[in-house]
A and B are shown apart, each in its own frame.
Chain A
Amino acid sequence: MTDPSTDLKRTPLHALHVELGAKMVPFAGYDMPVQFPRGILAEHDHTRTSCGLFDVSHMGQAFLASAADVAGALETLVPGDLKALAPGQMRYTQLLNEQGGILDDLMVTRPLAPQASELFLVVNAACKDSDFAHIAQRLRGRATLRRADERALIALQGPEAVHVLSRHCDGAAALKFMHAAPLVVAGIPCLVSRSGYTGEDGFEISVPNERAEGLARLLLVEPEVMPIGLGARDSLRLEAGLCLYGHDIDATTTPIEAGLAWSISKRRRAEGGFPGAAVLQKQLADGVSRKLVGIRAEGRQPARDGAEVQDAAGAKVGIVTSGGFGPTVGGPVAMGYVATAYAGTGTLVRLIVRGKALPAKVAALPFIAKRYAKS
Chain B
Amino acid sequence: MSEIRFSEEHEWIRVDGDIGTVGISDYAQQQLGDVVFVELPQVGTKIKARSEAAVVESVKAASEVYAPASGEVTEVNAALPDNPALVNEDAAGKGWFFKMRLSDKSELGKLMDAAAYAAYVEGLH
Distance of A248 from chain B, by nearest CB (Å): 18
A354: which of B34, B55, B58, B84 is its contact (CB, 8 Å)? Answer: B55
Verify if B81 is at the interface (C-beta below 8 Å from A). yes
Is B36 touching A39 in the complex (CB atoms < 8 A)? no
Distance of A354 from chain B, by nearest CB (Å): 7
Verify if B118 is at the interface (C-beta below 8 Å from A). no
In the bound assembly, the distance between CA atoms of A139 and B113 in angstroms comes to 65
Contact with B along A38-52 (1 / 0, CB 8 A): 011100100000000
Verify if A196 is at the interface (C-beta below 8 Å from B). no
- Counting chain B residues whose Cβ lies within 8 A of the other chain, the interface size class is 10 to 19
Is B33 touching A304 in the complex (CB atoms < 8 A)? no
Verify if B59 is at the interface (C-beta below 8 Å from A). yes
A300: which of B36, B58, B62, B88 is its contact (CB, 8 Å)? Answer: B36
Q: Which residues of B contact A23 (CB under 8 A)?
A: 33
Is B33 touching A40 in the complex (CB atoms < 8 A)? yes
Distance of A40 from chain B, by nearest CB (Å): 4
Closest chain B residue to A35, Cβ basis: B33
Is B62 touching A325 in the complex (CB atoms < 8 A)? no
Is B37 touching A302 in the complex (CB atoms < 8 A)? yes
Contact with A along B76-96 (1 / 0, CB 8 A): 000001001000100000000
In the bound assembly, the distance between CA atoms of A300 and B55 in angstroms comes to 12
In the bound assembly, the distance between CA atoms of A301 and B37 in angstroms comes to 6
Is B33 touching A302 in the complex (CB atoms < 8 A)? no
B34: which of A40, A301, A302, A332 is its contact (CB, 8 Å)? Answer: A40
In the bound assembly, the distance between CA atoms of A324 and B84 in angstroms comes to 15
Is A325 touching B36 in the complex (CB atoms < 8 A)? yes
Distance of A317 from chain B, by nearest CB (Å): 23
Verify if A327 is at the interface (C-beta below 8 Å from B). yes
Is B39 touching A40 in the complex (CB atoms < 8 A)? no
Is A40 touching B57 in the complex (CB atoms < 8 A)? no
B59: which of A231, A301, A354 is its contact (CB, 8 Å)? Answer: A231
Is B37 touching A325 in the complex (CB atoms < 8 A)? yes
A304: which of B34, B55, B62 is its contact (CB, 8 Å)? Answer: B62
Which DSSP category, helix, strand, loop or mixed, fits chain A's interface? mixed
Is B33 touching A39 in the complex (CB atoms < 8 A)? yes
Given known contacts A40-B34, A325-B36, is B59 in contact with A300 (CB within 8 Å)? no
Closest chain A residue to B59, Cβ basis: A40
Is A300 touching B81 in the complex (CB atoms < 8 A)? yes
Verify if A235 is at the interface (C-beta below 8 Å from B). yes
Distance of A322 from chain B, by nearest CB (Å): 13
B36: which of A35, A302, A354 is its contact (CB, 8 Å)? Answer: A302
In the bound assembly, the distance between CA atoms of A332 and B55 in angstroms comes to 16
Distance of B72 from chain A, by nearest CB (Å): 22
In the bound assembly, the distance between CA atoms of A301 and B81 in angstroms comes to 10
Distance of A320 from chain B, by nearest CB (Å): 13
In the bound assembly, the distance between CA atoms of A327 and B85 in angstroms comes to 13
Q: Which residues of A contact B60 (CB under 8 A)?
A: 34, 40, 231, 324
Contact with B along A148-166 (1 / 0, CB 8 A): 0000000000000000000
Is B57 touching A301 in the complex (CB atoms < 8 A)? yes
Closest chain A residue to B31, Cβ basis: A23
Closest chain B residue to A331, Cβ basis: B36
Distance of B42 from chain A, by nearest CB (Å): 13
Given known contacts A40-B59, A41-B59, A354-B55, is B84 in contact with A300 (CB within 8 Å)? yes
Q: Which residues of B contact A301 (CB under 8 A)?
A: 37, 39, 57
Is A302 touching B57 in the complex (CB atoms < 8 A)? yes
Contact with A along B33-61 (1 / 0, CB 8 A): 11011010000000000000001011110
In the bound assembly, the distance between CA atoms of A246 and B37 in angstroms comes to 26
In the bound assembly, the distance between CA atoms of A34 and B34 in angstroms comes to 12
Considering only residues 10-33 of chain B, those with a C-beta below 8 Å from chain A are 33
In the bound assembly, the distance between CA atoms of A324 and B88 in angstroms comes to 18
In the bound assembly, the distance between CA atoms of A325 and B36 in angstroms comes to 7
Q: Which of B55, B59, B62, B88 has the most CB of A within 10 A?
A: B59
Closest chain A residue to B38, Cβ basis: A300
Q: Which residues of B contact A34 (CB under 8 A)?
A: 60
Closest chain B residue to A299, Cβ basis: B37
In the bound assembly, the distance between CA atoms of A332 and B37 in angstroms comes to 10
Q: Which residues of B contact A302 (CB under 8 A)?
A: 36-37, 57, 62
In the bound assembly, the distance between CA atoms of A324 and B57 in angstroms comes to 9
Q: Which residues of A contact B39 (CB under 8 A)?
A: 301
In addition to A23-B33, A325-B57, 9 A-B residue pairs with Cβ atoms within 8 Å of each other are A231-B60, A300-B36, A301-B39, A302-B36, A302-B37, A302-B57, A302-B62, A324-B59, A325-B36
